[in-house]
Amino acid sequence: MNRWRWRSRSGYVGEGDAGQVALLVLGYSVLALVVVLVVTAASAVHLERKRLWALADAAAADAADALDREAYYGGSGSLGTGVPLTDDGVRSAVQAHVARAGAAERFDGLAVAPGTGTPDGRTAEVVLVATADVPVLGLLPGTTATGGPLAITVTSRARTALAPG
């Protein structure tokens, strides 16, 4: 006896369910594909942010060592507790580091942001901005954007207890 042929008051029981499993499988497959695309996009943005953070961290460490020679040699002649810095010295050290690292080819829209400098004359503050590249965003219908801006702020300070001899 065929189990789909059982009779009920409205007719055959199993005939109304034909094709429903295929629709359910299709729905779950689309949902799984969307989850994979979202995880891929989020991972790509996270990795881009980490690479930009590593660049900003290295640039901040380089800028923290950018001694302001006029303040050191023309002033008290002592390092005290930190290396004397200027906004221009920090900015030029960051721009030189970014150029040496070849980061303009690795990041879209990379720029040294206006907050880059020294807030207290001893601490280097580096702000880098780049555009995040989201690989699967262009696959979605109706989207033309390729990502959004990433801004990273890193501070660094070179400390020393040495005095010139």
Question: Residue 139 is part of which domain span?
Answer: 49-157
Residue 122 lies in a domain: yes
Mean predicted lDDT score pLDDT of the chain: 80
Q: What percent of the chain has pLDDT over 90?
A: 33
Statement: residue 53 has pLDDT above 90? yes
Statement: residue 75 has pLDDT above 70? no
Domain tally, the chain: 1
Residue 65 lies in a domain: yes
Residue 71 lies in a domain: yes
7-29 b/e (C-beta count within 10 Å ≥ 16 → b): eeeeeeeeeeeeeeeeeeeeeee
Residue 35 lies in a domain: no
Tallying the residues shown for the chain, one arrives at 165
Residue 4 lies in a domain: no
Beta bridge partners of 154: 126
Residue 82 lies in a domain: yes
Quick check: pTM over 0.85? no
Residue 53 lies in a domain: yes
One-character DSSP codes across 118-145: -SSSSEEEEEEEEE---TTGGGSTT---
Residue 55 lies in a domain: yes
